Amino acid sequence: MTTIIDGKAVAKKVNAATQTAVAELEQQGIKPGIAVIIVGEDPASQIYVRNKNRKATKLGMHSVVRQLPVTTTQAELLSIIAEYNSDASIHGILVQSPLPKQINEPLITMAIDPKKDVDGFHPTNMGKLITNFPGNYPVANTPRGIMTLLAEYGIDPAGKQAVVIGRSTIVGKPMAALLTNANATVTVAHSRTKDLKALARTADILVVATGIAHLITGADIKPGATVIDVGMDRDADGKLVGDVDFDSAQGVAGFITPVPGGVGPMTIATLMQTTVELAKWSDLSE
Ligand SMILES: NC(=O)C1=CN([C@@H]2O[C@H](COP(=O)(O)OP(=O)(O)OC[C@H]3O[C@@H](n4cnc5c(N)ncnc54)[C@H](OP(=O)(O)O)[C@@H]3O)[C@@H](O)[C@H]2O)C=CC1
Ligand SMILES: Nc1nc(=O)c2c([nH]1)NC[C@@H]1CN(c3ccc(C(=O)N[C@@H](CCC(=O)O)C(=O)O)cc3)C=[N+]21
Ligand SMILES: [Mg+2]
């Protein structure tokens, strides 16, 4: 029997807690604020940004969307980041990926104040994650949301074999760090990995984040394994599908996240959670 992990339901729970936290902060005169900067007109990005803005507003936060033309220069983007870095009404800054070619993405990531780095991509915050540093700092929302899903379904990574397919800054690397910190034995796979499918079959927890539709099928899954599908891909008919072939995986996996309705809603909910935390932490003296 395969349990379908209901990301929408867990996201609802997380959002309810966020709403409460926003109300508490209001008592202290703080309204959590997020600024999302989007360069160009990538259609998928437009959808995500709209979803984030809607959710933030609904939860009672201050939300700013800054749409910039695809021709924006590195210097212009840096000056807009500097503006939000010194804007006390903004606690979280997110620069939507992908960025046009003239923009140096790592340098943009570095320019965001680590205390306002709502994606958790700044090397300071990534470094803290890797070293399992104590204290408060933002962690990449997609992998963090996945850890929330695992906890909600009583899946403890400790002692388990985890395989993460994908090594991006946004998903694969922070996912591997979180699972390692949670005492899983983690293998990270990527496009140069040999015999990927045999490796996938060793996983008790399999996280797939490649952007390749239906890369993993039921035959590549250990019976009873937990399968987390991060992919947001289009099939031949333009339908939204994941990196895992859901139909063949069902009946083999113990737990599986659907696309849509799995990891995606958790990413947004966790982003809102992180924004509120940044607002809270900004008020703590250190
Ligand atoms: N649901 C959500 O909230 C989110 C969904 N996504 C989705 O997740 C997917 C991955 O996103 P992201 O991490 O940003 O993507 P990237 O393109 O940055 O990274 C993809 C990774 O997959 C690896 N890869 C590519 N092809 C293969 C292959 N054939 N076999 C094994 N590994 C392969 C790449 O290897 P190499 O490093 O060697 O190139 C790379 O490490 C996309 O579909 C994206 O849309 C992303 C973020 C959030
Ligand atoms: N700096 C930055 N941070 C990000 O976190 C970031 C980014 N750039 N660039 C793009 C990816 C992708 N991403 C998603 C967000 C929401 C859904 C989402 O809401 N998905 C829903 C609905 C999908 C739909 O219906 O289209 C679902 O899976 O059910 C998916 C993917 C965040 N990303
Ligand atoms: Mg999903």
Low-confidence ranges of the chain (pLDDT < 50): 286
160: phi then psi, degrees, rounded to nearest 5: -90, 155
- Residue from 171, 220, 239 to probe ligand 1 pocket by mutation (most atoms less than 8 Å from CB): 171
Catalytic residues: 52, 96, 119
State the pLDDT at residue 47. Answer: 87
Binding residues for NADP(+), by number, are: 166-168
This model of the complex carries an ipTM of 0.98
Q: Give dist(CA 42, CA 21) in Å, integer.
A: 33
User: Whose CA is closest to atom 12 on ligand 2?
Assistant: 48
State the pLDDT at residue 153. Answer: 98
How remote is the CA of residue 268 from the centroid of ligand 2, in Å?
Answer: 7
Residues with CB under 6 A from ligand 1: 142, 165-168, 170-172, 189-193, 196, 209-212, 215, 230-233, 263-264, 267
CA-closest candidate to residue 173, choices 223, 226, 130 = 130
How remote is the CA of residue 279 from the centroid of ligand 2, in Å?
Answer: 22
pLDDT digits (tens, 9 = 90+) for 215-260: 999 999 999 999 999 999 999 999 999 999 999 999 999 999 999 9
How remote is the CA of residue 163 from the centroid of ligand 3, in Å?
Answer: 19
Is ligand 2 within 6 A of the CB of residue 121? Answer: no
Give the torsion sign (CA, 175, 180, 185, 187). Answer: positive
State the pLDDT at residue 190. Answer: 98
State the pLDDT at residue 283. Answer: 75
Taking CA atoms, 168 is separated from 5, 38, 121, 157, 178, in Å, by 24, 20, 11, 21, 14
Is ligand 2 within 6 A of the CB of residue 9? Answer: no
Q: Give dist(CA 159, CA 249) in Å, integer.
A: 23
**141-264: what fold?**
Rossmann fold (3.40.50)
- In the chain, residues under CATH classification 3.40.50.720 are 141-264
Q: Give dist(CA 278, CA 274) in Å, integer.
A: 6
User: Whose CA is closest to atom 19 on ligand 2?
Assistant: 264
State the pLDDT at residue 286. Answer: 46
How remote is the CA of residue 22 from the centroid of ligand 1, in Å?
Answer: 33
The length of the chain, given as a count of residues:
286
* Whether CATH 3.40.50.10860 fits 27-113: yes
- Residue from 170, 228, 243, 256 to probe ligand 2 pocket by mutation (most atoms less than 8 Å from CB): 170
Q: pTM for the full model?
A: 0.98
Is ligand 2 within 6 A of the CB of residue 96? Answer: yes
Q: Give dist(CA 116, CA 56) in Å, integer.
A: 16
Contact yes or no for 94/53 (Cβ under 8 A): no
- In the chain, residues under CATH classification 3.40.50.10860 are 27-113
